[in-house]
Structure 1
Amino acid sequence: MICYLMDENVNPLYQIQLQMRDPDLVVWAVGDEGTPSKGTLDPEILIWCEDYGFILVTNNRTSMPVHLTEHINQGRHVPGIFILNPNMSIGETIEELILIAGTSDDDEYQDTIRFLPITQ
């Protein structure tokens, strides 16, 4: 089962809309109970995602590739990272994330960064 962790800089509407559209989908956000607190550094968030099996959804295009490379070079793994596309509407992004969750294998995106949209 695919689970999403929304980065703290992602608009909260994504989490709200995903949960409204698909109540069975696990969508947490940084700062929610049980997740890394707001202000947690990206390398620590990647460790949390690895430990708990969550794909990170972020708009961090600049430093996240560097953090993922360092994470993997330490012999670690991550279920995946999805980077939001600023040219997609919230609705288009919600549809994309629901489609991905419903049609993907749990390890399909392991150790990769994917820029949305990944379905065409």
Structure 2
Amino acid sequence: MRLLTDENFNGAILRGLMRRLPDLDIVRVQDVGLINASDPDILEWAASEGRILLTHDVATITMYAYERIDRGLPMPGVVEAIATAPIGKIVDDLELLVLCGKPEDYENQILFVPFS
């Protein structure tokens, strides 16, 4: 599974996930030259690279992701991590998504974690 975190994704969540899954293929927008990029540009890059986007941005990313789906454009998936949720619960749920799912399970999907 290939993941991308947006610019403001909580570093503690990212570190927790990397501790549990050290071989996880995950990059940050900062690492790939997308700092300050628009949401549509980030989603386009994620699609071109086959990466599921991890974000806290429920305000705009969701809207642009649904636009991509409506236009028939590739959208590997978006996982919205609720910023006010406990970090450990978010890490647990992201680990579950990675270990139990396949990339195609998340295509054209917008999921919210934590699950409960």
CA contact (8 A) 1:56 1:82 kept: yes
Q: How does 1:1-120 map to 2 (within 5 A)?
A: 2-32=1-31, 35-118=32-115
CA distance in 1, matches of 2:25, 2:93: 15
CA distance in 1, matches of 2:67, 2:97: 26
> How far apart are 1:36 and its partner, in Å?
4.0
Q: Which amino acid aligns with 1:50?
A: A
Moved over 6 A (4+): none
Aligned residue-pair number? 116
CA distance in 2, matches of 1:36, 1:71: 22
CA distance in 2, matches of 1:36, 1:48: 10
Distance verdict in 2 for CA 1:47–1:105, change over 3 Å: same
Which protein is richer in helix relative to its size?
2
> How far apart are 1:117 and its partner, in Å?
2.4
**TM-score normalized with structure 1 length:** 0.86
> How far apart are 1:70 and its partner, in Å?
2.3
CA contact (8 A) 1:36 1:48 kept: no
What fraction of aligned residue pairs are identical, expressed as a percent?
29
Give the unaligned 5+ runs of structure 1: none
